[in-house]
Structure 1
Amino acid sequence: MLYLKSIGTPLVLVMALFALGGCEQAEKSAQQMLNQAAESAKQAIDKTNEAAQQALSEATGSEKTDKEDSKDADGQKI
């Protein structure tokens, strides 16, 4: 069963289009499909990067809070 979100499916479809016709329209369709796959991959990478940055920010923010909690009112470490 083919899954449209897999990277192999667009490649198989592109190869099938070239094998069937080889005409300009098939080439344009294949290029459009590859561009869409590339854009989807870019969006996934951007979202992953954003989530990683947020997680890192939260992790470093909580460490600073923990260090500040271990000091008394005069700023001296307990």
Structure 2
Amino acid sequence: MKLNSIGAASLLALSVFALSGCDQVEKSAQQLMGKAAETAKQAIDDTHKAAEQALNDATQDIIGNKKQPTDDNKQSEKSSQAI
């Protein structure tokens, strides 16, 4: 009977150690997932900023290119009128 009590106590102690180990693993996993989520968020933000900048640059190029031919056309018209 004493042997059964010792065995039960040992089993209970091992269970407590296992559960506390699981809690530690869970906390570590949560920290790891938090860091991974933050890294992913930062990558998305950086990509978004780069896309906005590229779109802005492309828009400026298009607007700039439209203005230049218009200015050239005005100069051509002035030259034609002078002749």
TM-score under structure 2 length normalisation: 0.60
The percent identity for this pair of structures is 14
More helix as a share of residues? 2
Instruction: Determine if the alignment matches structure 1 residue 53 to structure 2 residue 51.
Output: no
Task: Give the greater-gyration-radius structure (CA).
Answer: 2
The residue number in structure 1 matching 2:18 is none
User: Displacement of 1:72 after TM fit?
Assistant: 2.8
Structure 1 residues not aligned, in runs of 5+:
1-20
Structure 2 residues not aligned, in runs of 5+:
1-21
**In the superposition, relative to structure 1, how do residues 73 and 66 fare at CA in structure 2: closer, same or farther (>3 Å)?**
closer
**In the superposition, relative to structure 1, how do residues 75 and 28 fare at CA in structure 2: closer, same or farther (>3 Å)?**
farther
1:20-54 per-residue CA deviation (whole Å, 9 max, x = no partner) reads: x5621111110000000111111111110000000
Runs of 4+ in 1 over 4 A off after TM superposition: 73-78
Q: What RMSD, in angstroms, separates the aligned Cα atoms of the two structures?
A: 2.6
The residue number in structure 1 matching 2:41 is 38
* Pairs within 5 Å for 1:9-28: 21=22, 23-28=26-31
Q: 2: CA distance between counterparts of 1:75 and 1:25? A: 75
